């Protein structure tokens, strides 16, 4: 394509590039060059083949920025940068497969689309592997999280990348490509799962990650159905190979700065990213970085609740946990939004704490209920949710991912 037609430009993020020369060596059309400061991309030569993306160890290579049509950044401009221009998006969805783009935009649609990552979030790597070139992971564990008597079979599945660098941050997703074809003979669609492990892995330092997967046995109308990908994953044995793509997601990320707090609200397997964020903070507990964790977690009953046992063992001063059980015989039905209302003083304080970041993940239906609960909390304390919500979004403090 001539640069006159360009509306998106391939750029390298100088802030995270480690100048290893891998991209320059890989590029089949010699579009990448460097000086003593930066690695840069020649807009008129790059043919968008993306051969450079998977080998890049940091994801610095993976940026396709919208530009004024026909006005790419020059090499001189790129050589001068210490970081990418501020107006550019944090990361692009341009390289994502259609399935992934469709799923991620549906997941964040309810509250007006994705919100930029917190200012102190680690810069994520995205789109390192795609369906044409997935990474093969090996199952190193598959454990049932729910009680034997529970209606749901929810599993903690650990995938090992065999020493290959596959950088993941808490809140990011990976895509699983189920083997085989559908009834029409077409390859199955990719399914997205949030990582449930922190950035250093389920087993720290071993290039691995964990997923939280519920075996799907019925559809939304309660008709029996066998979920293709969830059943494939739940049936995997140790040593089995899995095709993985990603990582995906550059918004639903946790803050890194000392003193930052998290308010996490989830239902069912929407707990996956909350487990990752909690575990990240737990592993750093001795650093005494300040900030607090508050969790609202909804499930049908205690034995249907993934990670119930480990959560119960966490010190109360580390995390303020509020369970909401909806189907415990003899007890009134409770949803997370009921617990948010009950804890209105503490919730109101956190809504007004500039260093508290709020995360919602799980069933689509909870979004409205939680929105109404926050509106009630605000009203009770003389605030106005309709004014506060846009401010929270503007400050990257309100993140939603629901399916
Ligand atoms: P579930 O067991 O069906 O429900 C969990 C709890 O949420 C139950 O107590 C349920 O109550 C309650 N609930 C139902 N409607 C609600 C509403 N309107 N407001 C608040 N609470 C409500 O949940 P699940 O099957 O695990 O589903 C979790 C969702 O998370 C799925 O949509 C999944 O796609 C999504 N998710 C999964 C991942 C992952 O990595 N696996 C990541 C992100 C999101 P009832 O007794 O009324 O049913």
Query: What is the mean pLDDT of the segment spanning 183-188?
Result: 86
Distance separating alpha carbons of residues 188 and 228, to the nearest angstrom = 8
CB-CB contact of 179 with 134 (8 Å)? no
How many A from CA of 48 to the centre of ligand 1? Answer: 39
CB-CB contact of 306 with 145 (8 Å)? yes
CB-CB contact of 176 with 193 (8 Å)? yes
CB-CB contact of 95 with 50 (8 Å)? yes
The angle at the Cα of 219, spanning 111 to 328, to the nearest 5 degrees, equals: 80
Which pLDDT score is estimated for 91? 38
Our answer on whether the CB atom of 175 is closer than 6 Å to any ligand 1 atom is no
CA-to-CA dists, residue 206 to 160, 163, 164, 279, angstroms: 8, 7, 9, 16
Which band of pLDDT confidence, cut at 50, 70 and 90, is reported for residue 51? confident
What are the structure tokens assigned to 27, written together?
């590029």
Strands 398-402 and 356-362, by their bridges, are parallel
CB-CB contact of 251 with 90 (8 Å)? yes
Query: At 341, which helix (H) or strand (E)?
Result: helix 336-342
How many A from CA of 212 to the centre of ligand 1? Answer: 13
Helices (H), 71-194: 75-80, 98-107
Which pLDDT score is estimated for 86? 62
Neighbour count for residue 123 (Cβ, 10 Å): 20
3 state DSSP class of 141:
strand
Which pLDDT score is estimated for 105? 66
pLDDT at 94 over 50: no
pLDDT at 75 over 70: yes
pLDDT, tens only, 298-347: 999 999 999 888 888 999 999 999 999 999 999 999 999 999 999 999 99
Q: Of the residues 171, 267, 302, 307, which should be mutated to test ligand 1's pocket, given the most ligand atoms within 8 Å of the CB? A: 267
Distance separating alpha carbons of residues 64 and 305, to the nearest angstrom = 40
Our answer on whether the CB atom of 108 is closer than 6 Å to any ligand 1 atom is no
Q: The whole model's pTM is what?
A: 0.79
Which residue matches tokens 């993941």? 168
Partnered with residue 266 across adjacent β-strands are 297, 361
- Domains, the chain, in order of start with CATH, read 3-107 (3.30.70.20), 135-248 (2.40.30.10), 261-402 (3.40.50.80)
Which band of pLDDT confidence, cut at 50, 70 and 90, is reported for residue 88? very low
How many A from CA of 237 to the centre of ligand 1? Answer: 26
Min mean pLDDT across 87-91, 178-182, 219-223, 342-346 is at: 87-91
What percentage of the chain exceeds 90 in pLDDT? Answer: 67
How many A from CA of 251 to the centre of ligand 1? Answer: 21
Most confident range, picked from 69-78, 129-138, 317-326? 317-326
How many A from CA of 174 to the centre of ligand 1? Answer: 20
Which pLDDT score is estimated for 145? 94
**How far does the chain reach from its first CA to its final CA, in angstroms?**
37
Our answer on whether the CB atom of 335 is closer than 6 Å to any ligand 1 atom is yes
What are the structure tokens assigned to 143, written together?
């454990």
Distance separating alpha carbons of residues 161 and 12, to the nearest angstrom = 25
């Amino acid at each position: 394509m001539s640069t006159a037609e360009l509306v998106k430009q391939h750029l390298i993020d100088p802030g995270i590039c480690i100048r290893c020369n891998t991209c320059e060596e890989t590029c089949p059309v010699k579009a990448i060059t460097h000086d003593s400061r930066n690695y840069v991309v020649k807009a008129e030569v790059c043919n968008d083949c993306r051969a450079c993306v998977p080998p890049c160890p940091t994801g610095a290579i993976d940026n396709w920025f919208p530009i004024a049509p026909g006005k790419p950044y020059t090499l001189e401009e790129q050589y001068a940068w210490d970081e990418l221009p501020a107006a550019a998006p944090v990361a692009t969805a341009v390289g994502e497969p259609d399935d992934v783009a469709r799923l991620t935009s549906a997941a964040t649609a309810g509250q007006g689309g994705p919100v930029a990552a917190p200012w102190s979030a680690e810069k994520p790597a995205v789109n390192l592997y795609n369906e044409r070139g997935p990474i093969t992971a090996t199952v190193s564990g598959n454990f049932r999280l729910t009680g034997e008597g529970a209606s749901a079979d929810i599993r903690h599945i650990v995938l090992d990348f065999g020493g290959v660098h596959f950088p993941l941050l808490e809140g990011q997703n990976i895509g699983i490509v189920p083997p085989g074809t559908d009834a029409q003979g077409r390859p199955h669609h990719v399914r997205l799962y949030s990582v449930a492990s922190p950035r250093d892995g389920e087993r720290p330092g071993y290039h691995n990650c964990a997923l939280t997967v519920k075996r799907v046995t019925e559809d939304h109308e309660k008709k029996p159905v066998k979920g293709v990908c969830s059943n494939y994953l739940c049936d995997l044995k140790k040593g089995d190979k899995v095709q993985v793509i990603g990582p995906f997601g550059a918004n639903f990320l946790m803050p890194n700065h000392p003193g930052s707090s998290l308010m996490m609200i989830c239902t069912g397997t929407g707990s996956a990213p909350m487990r990752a964020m909690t575990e990240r903070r737990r592993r750093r507990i001795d650093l005494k970085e300040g900030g607090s964790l508050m969790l609202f977690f909804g499930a049908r009953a205690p034995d249907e609740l993934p990670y119930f046992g480990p959560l119960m063992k966490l010190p109360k001063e580390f995390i303020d946990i509020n369970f909401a059980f909806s189907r415990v015989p003899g007890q009134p039905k409770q949803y997370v939004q009921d617990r948010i209302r009950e804890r209105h003083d503490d919730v109101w304080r956190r809504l007004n704490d500039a260093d508290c970041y709020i995360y919602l993940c799980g069933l689509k239906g909870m979004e409205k209920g939680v929105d109404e609960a926050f509106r009630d909390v605000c009203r009770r304390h003389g605030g106005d949710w309709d004014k506060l919500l846009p401010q929270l979004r503007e400050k990257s403090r309100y993140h939603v991912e629901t399916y």
